[in-house]
Amino acid sequence: MGSKACPWLLLLLLVAAAGSVPVGAEEAAFDENYAVQWGADGYHLVIRGTEANITMDQNSGAGFRSKSMYGSGFFHMRMKLPSSGYTAGVVTTFYLISQPEDGSRDEVDFEFLGDKAGVPITLQTNVFVNGRGDREQRLHLWFDPAADFHDYKILWNPYQLVMFVDDTPIRVLRNLTGTVPGYPFPAKQTMLIRASVWDGSGWATDGGKTKVDWSKGPFMAGYRGFDVNGCANGSATPCDSPDLWWNGGGYRNITAEQRAAYDDVRKKYMNYDYCADKARFNNSVPIECNYV
């Protein structure tokens, strides 16, 4: 595992056996599992033990990454988004990404897209497999993600990829690569954990028509929860091993209750789904859309 053994591990194992959605303890300090990637000037990224604050202004944003790469796991981050009222163009992220030299990356994204004052922040998720994305889904959350910290989680194992907001699944992709030819699933590359706040004026709000207004800044996001429940690259235990709790029976499918919550989110809160955008794909849909 990416984090050191600790007293709450037994509790996590018991919770995992019950098939619910655990959240790792928050005692881990930032530098146990993460390192600054950019913006390390003492202002744009400020680390205070178990919390990190990223500030974006006209000079820079900032980002950090995990020290290890992972082949499976249940990854989470507690986040509080920038809250200045007007946050158009501001992109706040938490994601997994591989590091191939040829650009054929795998990636799993939480991207929070700021907006004009009074307009809800948009959560966009995307999945890249072998360098190809174009799998955006967007929704407005049922709470204000700038008002307090919430959990954002990615379950990634040999059986499924599930993205959660708190305990509610908002995106599910089963691994059907063994039975459906051409089915995309990020199964072959290890991935880093990354997080950042950056200027997405070129695309994030109204398709890039509404830009960052620097007079409304600076824009600050908070991050917590720096322990890692994942199979690190080079681990003695294979990352597809059933001995890893996130690969166990309780995590190979979502439960009936989770499915009902997932369907409810799609019905009430999702405002764009690439699977429904047939015009984008020449009046057809990508193959995985047939197995939602």
Smallest CA-to-CA distance from 92 within 187, 237, 223, 245 is with 223
8: Cα within 13 Å, side-chain hemisphere: 12
Active site members: 107, 111
Which of 52, 60, 49 has its CA nearest to residue 27?
49
What is the number of H-type helices and E-type strands within the chain?
3, 16
Query: 95, 285, 246: which is closest to 171 by C-alpha?
Result: 95
Buried (b) or exposed (e) across 236-271, using 16+ Cβ within 10 A?
eeebeeeebbbbbebbeebeeebeebbeebbeebbe
CA-CA distance, 233 to 189, in Å (whole number)? Answer: 10
Q: What are phi and psi of 282, to 5 degrees?
A: 55, 50
Nearest-angstrom CA–CA distance, 108 and 191: 9
What tokens appear for 23 in the block? 């959240």
